[in-house]
Amino acid sequence: MAETMTYKILKQHLVEGRLEKGSEIGIRIDQTLTQDATGTMAYLQLEALGIDQVKTDLSVSYVDHNTLQNSFENADDHRFLQSAAARFGVWFSRPGNGICHQVHLERFGAPGKTLLGSDSHTPTAGGLGMLGIGAGGLDVAVAMAGGPFYLTAPEVLKVNLTGKLPTWTGAKDIILELLRRLSVKGGVGKVIEYAGPGVGTLSVHERATITNMGAELGATSSLFPSDAVTKRFLEDQKRADQFVPLEADPGAEYDHEITINLDELEPLASMPHSPDMVKPVKEIGPLKVDQVAVGSCTNGSYYDLRLVAELLKGKVIHPGLSLVVAPGSRQVYMALARESIIESLLASGARLLESACGPCIGMGQAPPSGGVSVRTFNRNFAGRSGTADAGVYLTGPAAAAAAALTGVLTDPRELGDYPQLPEAYLPVVDDRMLIKPPGDGSNVEIMRGPNIKPLPLNEALPEKLELKVLLAVEDNITTDHILPGGSKVLPLRSNIEALSEYVFASLDPGFPAKAREFGRGMVVGGENYGQGSSREHAALAPMHLGVKAVLAKSFARIHHANLVNFGVLPLTFADPADYEKISAGDELVMDDLHRQLNSREINVKNRRNDQNIKALHHLSPRQVEVVKAGGLLNYTRR
């Protein structure tokens, strides 16, 4: 039977379940990655599992999120992560070495392998033909301990690329076009496979831009074939031995199919405050711009920054804005330095940042009040930039450079002739900022600062829940809404008690006090509740405050899994219209709960109006037992 790339990889890694769409399967994970905003908790969880050494083929701990060291917390976390990596047999990527997705693509990713990462943009590895999946830190810890990763066998969406990108357009415009068509919910439950004659015209880094932002579609993962382009990339990285060809079989059947004619694309931009609010740049501008930010794991490659430098060469940025540039990795930074490209950027007035996530997660470089920021990043949720009332527009590097020069959002085609860029370059391969673990780390002492607190555990699910509705929220609530990022909050990721004070800070600053007052509570949500990052803290911190259940119209995949992992019951409305029957302050009762979990339907009684509401759970039998146990850690120990 002809197979898709997705099912070829899943078949080779299947360890539990039947490979049938919609059923739960367990797969073997070859590699894992963590980053410092999620990694401290992941290694505390690994330690709690009692594992001496990781069981994966390769695991890497990256420091790329919390690199702004305002106080001791981030530095202490980095020291903890480096010692934990040595203790458990994990590679350690030092601060400044680059963003996890860019570095992993360059130095570790391998076609046909599986990668599980505690970051939602782990599917970036699909640019190499690797099945990368984002997950919560606890799922990654279990995978490092040798356990399977469980997921629903996905549908597969084929995106057929025809033609060739015109000048002034790029890979960012391809994924923005897909977001325009499908929305931020269009990829839920799916893996997206790219095929067609247009694929061969895209470099690995361009492919990685597209797979990176597949996370914004809600997709489980995204995949490009492993072909001659992939082979050349791995040869340049001095990893030719990692190459294996991978493509879908002729005649493979897909659940959905879309065609994008690259010849017809034009420069696009995503408008505030959602990545799927996409229009052509020429239809949005001219719009006064206060800040331009180039880089991130989406557009931080050599070619992205080389293009910006060529467009700025001999010119000075507009006096009404600031421009910051963050190369995606140290390898990219060194190539730009070697070829004096950094000189062009600096001469233009650009401010160079370190190779880290930085402004993308609100870690510095917040725009001015009410300002407009044009960014080559992947998310533009309200407040994510660090400025609550700023408007963030997502574009490709050409449009970002055009805005930097003109001071307004500008169609880059107005700049004139497209610059001549080299078709190939040799990367600077230097792994001295990667620390290989010792053969035996059993005697390594894990170093803990005072901000690293013990892992909180949930209680087992009781037979009866009487819960106060603490908050009712609208559609598309992101993990940034549930638990914000930024330089003030991110350093508390290893201290759940302190972190919990910021739960729903942008929507209801009194939420933590209210939750503590009522003891046990729940949250009611709309469609796509929990979209965005993989941060398990958006489930763990509410659990710590006593949230026992979330009742929503629908959930984003990773957040649903994180709620299960921490023993918080995720339920959906059988009839979405029932959402209107519940208000904040209502008391909801679920009785005989363990028996009800044996079926899909859960009866929820609202004591305020004496109405019964039918809710559904979408848990596998295994997940039911995880929730009953009070979370995955309790379940695994048991």
Is 535 noted as a catalytic residue in this protein?
Answer: yes
> Per residue in 516-555, is it b (16+ CB within 10 Å) or e — as a string?
eebebbbbbbbbbbbbbbbbbbbbbbbbbbbbbbbbbbbb
State the pairing for strand pair 114-117/131-134. parallel
Structure tokens at 302: 């050599």
Q: Is the dihedral of CA 554, 560, 563, 567 positive or negative?
A: positive
379 given a catalytic annotation: yes
Which residue among the candidates 13, 28, 36, 64 is catalytic per the annotation? Answer: 64
Which amino acid, residue 534? Answer: S
Q: Which two tokens stand for residue 396?
A: 């490709």
Among 344, 373, 487, 533, the one annotated catalytic:
533
Catalytic residue among 28, 101, 205, 535: 535
Cα 368 to Cα 388: distance, rounded to the nearest angstrom: 10
Catalytic option among 87, 375, 379, 493: 379
8 A C-beta contact, residue 479 and residue 533? yes
Q: Which helix (H) or strand (E) holds 81?
A: helix 72-88
- Answer for the pair 449, 498: CB distance below 8 angstroms, yes or no: no
Give the C-alpha separation, 34 to 93, whole Å.
10
Catalytic residue among 13, 28, 65, 207: 65
Token representation of residue 473: 């929220």
* Cis geometry, peptide bond prior to residue 537 (ω within 30 degrees of 0): no
Neighbours of 423 (CB within 10 A): 7
Q: Which amino acid is at 345?
A: L
Determine the Cα–Cα distance for residues 61 and 90; give it in Å rounded to an integer: 7
The rounded distance, in Å, linking the Cα atoms of 627 and 104 is: 33
Q: Helical H runs in 301-407? A: 302-312, 330-338, 341-348, 397-406
Cα separations in angstroms, 325 against 40, 82, 304, 365, 532: 28, 27, 11, 11, 24
Cis preceding-peptide flag for 462 (omega within 30 of 0): no
Q: Is residue 270 exposed (0-12), middle (13-18) or buried (19+ Cβ within 10 Å)?
A: buried
User: Among this protein's residues, is 65 annotated catalytic?
Assistant: yes
Of 36, 119, 411, 586, which is the active-site residue? 119
Q: Which two tokens stand for residue 512?
A: 């933590």
What is the end-to-end Cα distance of the chain in Å, rounded?
40
Tokens encoding 65: 């999120």
Helices (H), 418-567: 479-482, 496-499, 511-518, 537-544, 557-565
Structure tokens at 605: 């009684």
Largest Cα separation within the chain, whole Å, is 73
Helix (H) or strand (E) holding 284: helix 281-284
Pairing of strands 114-117, 465-472: unpaired
Q: How far apart, in whole angstroms, are the C-alpha atoms of residue 308 and residue 411?
A: 14
How would you label 72-96 residue by residue, b for 16+ Cβ within 10 Å and e otherwise?
Answer: ebbebbbbbbbbbbbbbbbbbbebe
Element (H, E) at 133: strand 131-134
87 is catalytic: no
Tell me the catalytic residues.
64-65, 119, 379, 533, 535
